[in-house]
C-alpha cells in the first residue's frame, strides 16, 4: 500500500506528465508544419540536425541538473516517433529510422557486428577478424569518441555504421547490417547518414575492405568511392582503401 508521501509524489508526476504531453502537442504542430516543407525521406530524417538536437538536449540536461543519458534517450525516442509521423505524411513510412548511436548501444552493436561479420570470416578463413574479437570495452570507448548511427526495427538494432573525424577526413568503419536485413538499402542509407552528418566539417571520407569482399566493393564503388591504395595484410590478403569527396 503506497504511503501518503508516495501518493503525493505520484500526483505531482501525473501533473508534470500532463504538461509534458501539452508541450509534445505543441511540438507536433511545429513538426507537422516543417514536414509540409519537406519532400523526401532524407530531409525528414536529417541525421545531422537530429544529432545536434540530441546533443543540445544533453547539454541542457547537464545545466539543469537532469541526467544527460535519460534526456538523450528520451529525445532519441521522441524524435524517432516524430520522424515516423513526418515520413507517413510524405508517404515513406515503411523505412526504419536512422538515429545516432552511443555507448549505451554497445552491447547490441557488438552482437550485430559479430553476426554480420561472420560472412567476412568465412571469405577470409579467419575467425579472428578485428570486428569479431573486439571487446565490449573497446567498443564503448570507440562509441564515446566517434560518430555512429544505427537503424532500429521495432526494438532491435538491425544496422549500424561508425566513424571518426580527423581534421577534414571522415574515417568510416564497421558498416554492418543484420543478415536478415541485408540487400534492402540499409547499408546505403547508413553510409549516406554518416557522410551527411559530418559535412561541411569533413571534406573527404575514407573506408576499407578486404580485396575478396567483392559485394562490398561493388556497393562502395556504386556510392562514389574510388580505390586509393592497397595495403598487404597477410599473404594472399590485401585491404583496399577507398575514398570519396564529400560536398
In the complex with ligand COA, the residue whose CB is nearer, 31 or 151, is 151
For the CB of residue 50, give the shortest distance to ligand COA in the complex, in Å.
20
| Furthest-apart CA atoms within the chain: distance in Å | 73
In the complex with ligand COA, the residue whose CB is nearer, 144 or 221, is 221
47 contacts ligand COA (rule: CB under 6 A): no
Alpha carbon distances (Å) from 203 to 174, 194, 227, 236: 20, 13, 17, 33
Residues 183-212 contacting ligand COA, CB under 6 A: 183-188, 209
Alpha carbon distances (Å) from 109 to 19, 103, 105: 35, 9, 6
With contacts defined by CB under 6 A, name the span among 7-15, 79-87, 140-148, 175-183 that binds ligand COA. Answer: 175-183
Could you tell me the three cell numbers for 82? 516524430
Radius of gyration of the chain (CA): 21
Which position among 106, 110, 147, 175 is part of the footprint of ligand COA (CB under 6 A)?
A: 175
With contacts defined by CB under 6 A, name the span among 5-13, 51-59, 177-185, 238-246 that binds ligand COA. Answer: 177-185
State the pairing for strand pair 204-210/226-234.
Answer: unpaired
For the CB of residue 147, give the shortest distance to ligand COA in the complex, in Å.
17
Residues 145-164 contacting ligand COA, CB under 6 A: none
φ and ψ of 85, to 5 deg:
-60, -45
Which position among 136, 215, 226, 231 is part of the footprint of ligand COA (CB under 6 A)?
A: 215
Confirm if 143 and 119 have CB atoms less than 8 A apart: no
In the complex with ligand COA, the residue whose CB is nearer, 53 or 217, is 217
For the CB of residue 131, give the shortest distance to ligand COA in the complex, in Å.
8
Residues 4-23 contacting ligand COA, CB under 6 A: none
Which position among 86, 120, 142, 195 is part of the footprint of ligand COA (CB under 6 A)?
A: 120
In the complex with ligand COA, the residue whose CB is nearer, 86 or 120, is 120
For the CB of residue 114, give the shortest distance to ligand COA in the complex, in Å.
10
- The residue ranges that bind ligand COA (CB under 6 A) are 116-117, 119-120, 175-177, 182-188, 209, 213, 215-216, 218-219
Amino acid at each position: 500500500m503506497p504511503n501518503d508521501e508516495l501518493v503525493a509524489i505520484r500526483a505531482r508526476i501525473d501533473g508534470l506528465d500532463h504538461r509534458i504531453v501539452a508541450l509534445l502537442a505543441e511540438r507536433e504542430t511545429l513538426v507537422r508544419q516543417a514536414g509540409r516543407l519537406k519532400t523526401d525521406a532524407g530531409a525528414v530524417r536529417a541525421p545531422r540536425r537530429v544529432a545536434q538536437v540530441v546533443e543540445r538536449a544533453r547539454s541542457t540536461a547537464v545545466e539543469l541538473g537532469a541526467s544527460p543519458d535519460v534526456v538523450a534517450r528520451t529525445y532519441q525516442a521522441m524524435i524517432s516517433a516524430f520522424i515516423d509521423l513526418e515520413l507517413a505524411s510524405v508517404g515513406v513510412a515503411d523505412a526504419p529510422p536512422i538515429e545516432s548511436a552511443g555507448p549505451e548501444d554497445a552491447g547490441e552493436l557488438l552482437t550485430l557486428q559479430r553476426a554480420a561479420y561472420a560472412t567476412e570470416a568465412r571469405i577470409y578463413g579467419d575467425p579472428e577478424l578485428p570486428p569479431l574479437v573486439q571487446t565490449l570495452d573497446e567498443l564503448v570507448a570507440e562509441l564515446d569518441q566517434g560518430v555512429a548511427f544505427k537503424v532500429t526495427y521495432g526494438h532491435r538494432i538491425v544496422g549500424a555504421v561508425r566513424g571518426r573525424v580527423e581534421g577534414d577526413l571522415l574515417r568510416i568503419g564497421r558498416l554492418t547490417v543484420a543478415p536478415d536485413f541485408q540487400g534492402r538499402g540499409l547499408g546505403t542509407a547508413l553510409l549516406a547518414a554518416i557522410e551527411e552528418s559530418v559535412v561541411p566539417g569533413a571534406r573527404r571520407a575514407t573506408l576499407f575492405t578486404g580485396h575478396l569482399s567483392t559485394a562490398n566493393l561493388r556497393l562502395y564503388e556504386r556510392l562514389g568511392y574510388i580505390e586509393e591504395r592497397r595495403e598487404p595484410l597477410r599473404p594472399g590478403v590485401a585491404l583496399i582503401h577507398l575514398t570519396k569527396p564529400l560536398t
